Amino acid sequence: TPRVHGIAVAADLGKGYTSNGGNNTVSVFDLKTLKATGTVPGGMNPDAIIYEPKSHRVLSFNGNSKDVTIIDAKTDKVVATVPVGGKPELAQTDAKGMVWVNIEDTAELIEIDAAKATVTRRLKMAGCEDPTGLAIDRKKGRLFAACSNKLAAVVDIKGWKLLGTAPTGAGS
């Protein structure tokens, strides 16, 4: 697992996945034995990785190729490569089919339908520079993006709007 950037767990399938920035792949391993079971080709410099349980898909977010590799976790085959128009950073899922990811160099948040392998919505986060970290409150339908300019942006998922920003301090 050269230069692992992230780990995704598909507990329902007994599998784990790592994004390997050192060789542009995703490694697959067995959760019980921790033994490698395969490698999936990915985009350039895979970084964040997430498992979306409803669609049984793994999404690997590739910084240098500015796209998302979408893998069928049942077959470990690439089903799509989706361009995102910038450098994807951290992602979150509602575990019901939707995935959100920060686009660092355009200060956007995008929504991806994992089953359809398409970007469904984009939102410019005014006032948020270089968003990296991303957290979700599934109960209230809020996303919290960590911005490099000492702020956190708060987004309403359902209404798809920026609710505001709050100070956080340095070092997002």
DSSP for 83-151, please give it.
Answer: E-SS-EEEEEE-SSSEEEEEEGGGTEEEEEETTTTEEEEEEE-TT--S---EEEETTTTEEEEEETTTE
Whole-angstrom Cα distance, residue 25 to residue 21? 7
pLDDT at residue 172, as a whole number? 72
0.75 exceeded by pTM? yes
pLDDT at residue 170, as a whole number? 81
The yes-or-no verdict on residue 83 having pLDDT over 80 is yes
Give Cα 158 to chain centroid, integer Å.
Answer: 19
Closest CA to 37 of 1, 78, 81, 79: 1
pLDDT at residue 3, as a whole number? 86
pLDDT at residue 165, as a whole number? 95
Whole-angstrom Cα distance, residue 152 to residue 127? 9
